[in-house]
Amino acid sequence: MSSLFTKRKSAYEILEDLRENGISDEAILDYIVCNNLTGTVAHQLMVEAREEFLGDAEDDTDVSELMGDESDFGDSDEDEDEDDFGDSDED
């Protein structure tokens, strides 16, 4: 079994555990999109999801035209220890 399959299976099992413990899909998705993906990746995945679920291809604008090379809600790689709300991971 490849490690990619194993990691995907593990991720799915964690997702199911979160759901079984009352965490909504909306909360999980918001957490992933807003806190764990670069703006560029988040945008591309959401465009692809919209096309998959709605068949909507109206936004074919190049992401780099909209946001430059990095688009992490204004965050740069230097401040990875902070989330998008300015709170430090250090408590």
pLDDT tens digits, one per residue of 45-63: 999 999 999 986 665 555 4
Rounded to two decimals, the pTM is 0.54
Query: Per-domain residue ranges for the chain?
Result: 7-72
**Token representation of residue 9:** 């299976």
**Confidence bin at 3 (pLDDT 50/70/90):** confident
Cβ neighbours of residue 15 closer than 8 Å, sequence gap 6 or more? 28
CA dist., res. 10 & res. 78, Å (int): 30
Which residues, 6+ apart, have CB-to-CB distance to 37 below 8 Å? 45
CA–centroid distance for 37 within its chain: 4
Q: Which residues pair with 82 in a beta bridge?
A: 88
